[in-house]
Structures are given as structure tokens and as C-alpha cells.
């Protein structure tokens, strides 16, 4: 009976590893433009391979030689696999923002993934960066999140980084508003306001 309840509660979760009291604010992916150049390259080479046999007598040589036919088919399979690989890497990259933390799922390759998370109350600074002509025109870039005691978390190639920065800052302030005052903060406050 307890197992069934556990399975039911997993169905209501938006991602694996979601905490019971955690509410998802946003689930984001990298901007679609990241796929533009790989897709142009893949489609260009596949199109070239499909058009090549119709030019002059080249098709006769391609399809009458087993070695050249094999290379031709391998070429098509390679570029089709390349397109699928780029799409899957893009699709599986996720940025999840909850009311407790930020999770960065970075799909490095088909069989390599890095997941990092940062609690909202540990955030010290949030900035964004937009670099390049296309990124400026299409409004996508990176959001850099600095935290106490760990490496920066960088959310790369995300749409509307300015608005995302504002959302993260607001959530971090809300998370820190409920925390008790530490001894160091109290000492600093007393030093600043001493008469």
C-alpha cells in the first residue's frame, strides 16, 4: 500500500529528484538558435549527397561500385546521425528553477550528463551576458549565478537572460527573507549602526 502511494506521488512530479515540498517555477531549454548552424551544416551535406547522383554520370559511378556505394551510404548515415545527436543534446539540456533551488542538467554527449544544483538561499550575485551579433539581435545569452562557497553556475544560451536574471534575484531574495540572522550579520549590523 505504501509503495502505491509512493508511485502516485512520483507521477505528480515535474522532474526526477523533485522534493515533496518543492514547486517548479520554470523549466527552460537552450535557445533554438543553437541548433541553427549544426542543422544548416547537416542539411547542406545531406542535400549535396542526394543531389550529387543526379549530376551528369556521377550516379552511375556511385551505384555501380560497391565501395563507393558503401561510402555514399555511410556519408548519409553519418550526417543524419549528426543531426539527431545535435538535436538530442539540445533537447536533453534543461534548466529547472524551483522555489528552493536551481538545477542545471548539462547534456555533454549521448552518454555523459552533468547535473548541478544551487540552493536559492546560497545565491550571492546574479548577472547576465549577451555576446555576439546574433545573440544581441535574438536576445539570448548566459546567466551567471555566484554562490557562497562553490563554483559559479552558468546557464548558457538561454532566451531572455535579463528577465531570467530578474526572476532568479526575486526568488533568491524571497528565499533569504525567511532565514534567521547569523551572528556575523548581527555583528556587522551593530558595527554599522553604533553611535
pLDDT in tens, 1-18: 333 344 434 455 667 777
pLDDT tens digit string along 158-183?
999 999 999 999 988 888 776 676 77
Euclidean distance between CA atoms 108 and 88, whole angstroms? 10
Q: What is the pTM of this model?
A: 0.70
Q: Say which range, 34-43, 89-98, 132-141, 169-178, has the weakest mean pLDDT.
A: 169-178
Q: How many CB atoms lie within 10 A of CB 85?
A: 14
* Highest-pLDDT range among 25-39, 52-66, 164-178: 25-39
CB atoms near residue 53 (< 10 Å): 15
Whole-number Cα distances in Å, 188 to 84, 191, 192:
55, 5, 6
For domain 2-30+93-178, give its CATH number from 2.30.29.30, 3.30.1370.60, 3.20.20.70, 2.40.50.140. 2.30.29.30
Predicted confidence at residue 12, as pLDDT, reads: 55
Alpha carbons within 13 angstroms on the beta-carbon side of residue 116 total 13
pLDDT (tens digit, 9 = 90+) per residue, 67-110? Answer: 888 888 899 999 999 999 999 999 989 999 988 889 998 888 88
CA dihedral over 153, 154, 159, 165, signed as positive or negative: positive
Amino acid at each position: 500500500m505504501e509503495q502505491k502511494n509512493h508511485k502516485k506521488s512520483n507521477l505528480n512530479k515535474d522532474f526526477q529528484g523533485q522534493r515533496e515540498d518543492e514547486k517548479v517555477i520554470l523549466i527552460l531549454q537552450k535557445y533554438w538558435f543553437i541548433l541553427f548552424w549544426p542543422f544548416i551544416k547537416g542539411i547542406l551535406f545531406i542535400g549535396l549527397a542526394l543531389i550529387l547522383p543526379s549530376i551528369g554520370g556521377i550516379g552511375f559511378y556511385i551505384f555501380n561500385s560497391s565501395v563507393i556505394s558503401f561510402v555514399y551510404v555511410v556519408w548519409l548515415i553519418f550526417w543524419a546521425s549528426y543531426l539527431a545527436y545535435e538535436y538530442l543534446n539540445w533537447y536533453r539540456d534543461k534548466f529547472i528553477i524551483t522555489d528552493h533551488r536551481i538545477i542545471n542538467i548539462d547534456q555533454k554527449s549521448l552518454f555523459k550528463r552533468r547535473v548541478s544544483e544551487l540552493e536559492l538561499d546560497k545565491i550571492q550575485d546574479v548577472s547576465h551576458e549577451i555576446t555576439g551579433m546574433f545573440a544581441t539581435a535574438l536576445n539570448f545569452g548566459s546567466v551567471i549565478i555566484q554562490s557562497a562557497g562553490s563554483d559559479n553556475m552558468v546557464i548558457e544560451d538561454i532566451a531572455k537572460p535579463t528577465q531570467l536574471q530578474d526572476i532568479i534575484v526575486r526568488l533568491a531574495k524571497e528565499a533569504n527573507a525567511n532565514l534567521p540572522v547569523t551572528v556575523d550579520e548581527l555583528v556587522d549590523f551593530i558595527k554599522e549602526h553604533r553611535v
